[in-house]
Amino acid sequence: MHWSVSPFEEVMASRDNASADFKGTYPGSYSVQFSALYDKNGDGIYLAAYDGKMHSKRFLFDGDNCDTLTYSLRQFPERMLTPSEDYKSPYDAVVGVFHGDWMDAAEIYREWAIKQVWCSKGPLYTWEDLSETAYNIDISIGIAYRLTLDTPVLYDENLENLLAMKEFFDNISSVNGVPPTYCVHLRGWSKYLDVMSEKGTPDYFPPQPRLKDFVSTLKAKNFVINVYMGDMVFDRNNPLDPESPWNWSEAQPYAMYNPLGKVYSRFRPYYACMDPSTDWWQNSLASLVPQAQEYCLVDGIYWDHVPQMRLDFKESMSHEGGGNYYGLGYREMAHKCRDAGRINDPNHFICDEGECEIEIGVFDAFLNEWFNLADGNLHEFTGLGIPIPLITYIYHDYVMMAGGIRNKNKGLNGFSSPEQFGFYTAYIFVNGNKPLFPATSGMSYTFTKWKNGEMDDEWVKEMEYFGRIVKIYRIGKEPLTFGRYLRPPKLVGIGTERIIFNGHDTDIPAVLAGAFLWNDTIYIPVTNWGETTQNIKQIDFSECRWLPECYELSLMNENGVHPLGIYQGKVIDVDLQIKSKDACFLVIKKSGSGVSIIRPRNGLYIFDKKILPLHGTVVVGGITITVEASKNTSKVEFYIDDDLKYIDYTHPFSWFWDERKFGIHTIKVLGYSQSEKQTDVVSVFKIL
């Protein structure tokens, strides 16, 4: 692990030209403020900083990859080079134990995180200013309008490719005769070609020739338009031409500096990192928005700024080092840019590369990147062998999310096989993200080739699968957008498919599944990205704490909702066939019959207060046993180890168990109605 960094490296480092390791930086490479270390048996240590004010910090680990691991939480206060006698941490450092895996640790963290300022706006479905334009997007694709200033604008080539894409997916992804809504992410559109040339930022206007006409043509065909802009850096060579309004001499006081007065750089040596907390930089960026709306007719803007805090020591600012200037300033900057767009368009949206929780609540949508694709090598970003959609799992119901891959080849030729593409398609769907076609028009012309009959049949088949996923995504758009991400069940009886993944042949389940809670209903997206029909023989909900005691199971697809039965129990036998390249939703609703012990269950309870979630149940002291029962339940009997202790005749049914006990005991309840008797049982470890 070896993440140690000296304090001198810490304050002097520039990401582009220093030896400092930037792992563990928050806000930065640490997207959230917790870590989980656990073994194969699920015994784990939970390490966190509960810092709702987003102070700059660093999580450091060092060890021998065997028996020893050292953990430290490095804090960076304001005025950190000024001598001081006293220092008190502005937040709590949390150390504890848990049982489970990363999802269990994420649940513990989420319980705290959604109460913080970045979630204060509430879940997406409560947003009064939710962008309908962003919500309506069904497919996104990137395009390069011009590759270099020495080559022509790709007007006709891009238009032909995008209209062929619309023809392709309109035939496959329409729902009740309504075609999908397409979103084009424009790059290479601006004065100096923005990210395509890496110079001149933020000198974007006027845009490239005929851009407004290009955009107008697409918008008439049901396309949504957003353009690329950078909000992190300033080109120190500005002005690049006499008419440019941007001058480094004016911007220089608002950059970020190390203690020796050297500006931090990013991406290019001449790109200065700007301080997001300064009014000048915030207002400068906001001034670009109405120009983009006028010149480019945009519906939204992709602001490229992966949060990466710097310790800033310019004398003109009060922070002089760390504190929380970066997190607060970043959010203020995003707010101003979004508000500037809303003046002329109440549905204007902003999106970015969703890398850090400080972006929650100020951006409308995130671009996720779980995979890195280059020259046939499909890798996940964590280095742990499997993708871990951490931000998605914790915050899925707080921001719209799209995509899931960084494709360096910009075309389908980045995949080593059509099956790799199919796996990507399946993964973004079951994780609830808006479909992003992983090719950049202008750098590849996938759909023009299709229309001209130049595409191999196997690739066309995977493109058609992508289109079917778009269709089923549209059918379940509400739960996949607004639903809370839950631990998915295990599907028993399915086979595997082999693809090149993380550099070697890997067997991956042919059927993938997710789980989302929306309007008291669980929606489980299921898809078979494999080459043969798969038979699901069992559904194992053993690790799904959200499962009702008695529930109705249905299958939802493009043909409607089909009831499968009423079930009780964590492992159920089914007989479901999922055809190759098919997708559906399994839908779970609580049944009107039955009783269920909802407390205590799956947690540590100390003197009638739940302390943290667990896979099992531990009770210290007295506990209120709470039962959820159907309206026609007339009474509930409470048993401890089969001994009747209490009968309750009134909704809501409960009983306070205050006997002094030690060891494993069984809580059982019996619910009575006119027609039937229902039961539920929970095993607990009781202390006192």
Evaluate if residue 644 carries a pLDDT over 90. Answer: yes
Evaluate if residue 19 carries a pLDDT over 60. Answer: no
Torsion angles phi and psi, residue 623, rounded to 5: -145, 140
**What's the CA gap between 394 and 111, in Å, rounded?**
9
What is the number of structural domains in the chain?
4
Same domain, 337 and 289: yes
Query: DSSP state, 397?
Result: G
Position 215 in a domain: yes
CATH code at position 327:
3.20.20.80
Single residue among 538, 568, 590 that ends a domain in this structure = 590
Who contacts 250 (Cβ-Cβ below 8 Å, separation ≥6)? none
> Could you report the per-residue pLDDT of 33-60, keeping only the tens digit for each?
999 999 999 999 999 999 999 999 999 8
Position 521 in a domain: yes
Question: What pLDDT score does 17 carry?
Answer: 47
C-beta of residue 226 within 8 angstroms of C-beta of residue 183: yes
Same domain, 603 and 575: no
Position 382 in a domain: yes
Same domain, 401 and 525: no
Please, how many CA atoms are within 13 Å of residue 657, restricted to the half-sphere of its CB? 33
Position 265 in a domain: no
Position 85 in a domain: yes
**What's the CA gap between 538 and 543, in Å, rounded?**
14
Tokens 């870590």 sit at which residue? 35
CATH code at position 632:
2.60.40.10
Same domain, 385 and 435: yes
Nearest to 511 by CA among 458, 578, 436: 578
Nearest to 146 by CA among 446, 447, 441, 410: 441
Single residue among 91, 119, 147 that ends a domain in this structure = 119
Question: What pLDDT score does 154 carry?
Answer: 97
**What's the CA gap between 196 and 147, in Å, rounded?**
6
Confidence band of 681 (pLDDT split at 50, 70, 90): confident
Question: What pLDDT score does 422 carry?
Answer: 97
Torsion sign over Cα 336, 341, 342, 347: negative
> Could you report the per-residue pLDDT of 286-300, keeping only the tens digit for each?
999 999 999 999 999
Q: Which tokens is 415 given?
A: 């995949």
Domain extent at residue 54:
7-119
C-beta of residue 425 within 8 angstroms of C-beta of residue 405: no
Same domain, 430 and 353: yes
Same domain, 160 and 81: no
The three-point CA angle 674-675-680 to 5° equals: 95
Same domain, 77 and 177: no
Position 240 in a domain: no
Same domain, 617 and 671: yes
Who contacts 241 (Cβ-Cβ below 8 Å, separation ≥6)? none
Evaluate if residue 87 carries a pLDDT over 80. Answer: yes
**What's the CA gap between 583 and 170, in Å, rounded?**
18
**What's the CA gap between 280 and 587, in Å, rounded?**
51
Evaluate if residue 62 carries a pLDDT over 90. Answer: no
Question: What pLDDT score does 306 carry?
Answer: 80
Confidence band of 355 (pLDDT split at 50, 70, 90): confident
Which pairing describes strands 617-620 and 603-606: parallel, antiparallel, or unpaired?
parallel
**What's the CA gap between 15 and 141, in Å, rounded?**
30
> SS3 of 449, please?
helix
**What's the CA gap between 155 and 215, in Å, rounded?**
10
Residues 367-371 have a mean pLDDT of 90
Confidence band of 22 (pLDDT split at 50, 70, 90): low
C-beta of residue 107 within 8 angstroms of C-beta of residue 113: no
Question: What pLDDT score does 551 carry?
Answer: 87
Question: What pLDDT score does 592 carry?
Answer: 65
Residues 307-314 have a mean pLDDT of 89
**What's the CA gap between 307 and 326, in Å, rounded?**
9
C-beta of residue 628 within 8 angstroms of C-beta of residue 596: yes
Position 34 in a domain: yes
Helix (H) or strand (E) holding 468: helix 457-475
CATH code at position 583:
2.60.40.1180
Question: What pLDDT score does 70 carry?
Answer: 87
Same domain, 224 and 352: yes
**Helix pair angle (211-219, 279-296), 10° resolution:** 70
Residues 401-430 have a mean pLDDT of 94
Same domain, 63 and 152: no
Confidence band of 615 (pLDDT split at 50, 70, 90): low
Same domain, 304 and 190: yes
Amino acid, single-letter form, for residue 314: K
**What's the CA gap between 273 and 96, in Å, rounded?**
37
Same domain, 427 and 530: no
Torsion sign over Cα 124, 128, 130, 135: positive
> SS3 of 7, please?
helix
Question: What pLDDT score does 7 carry?
Answer: 54
Q: What is the mean pLDDT of the chain?
A: 92
Residues 167-181 have a mean pLDDT of 97
Position 674 in a domain: yes
C-beta of residue 114 within 8 angstroms of C-beta of residue 108: no
Per-residue HEC secondary structure of 500-539 comes to EECCEEEEEECEEECCEEECCEEEEEEEECCCCCEEEEEE
C-beta of residue 158 within 8 angstroms of C-beta of residue 455: no
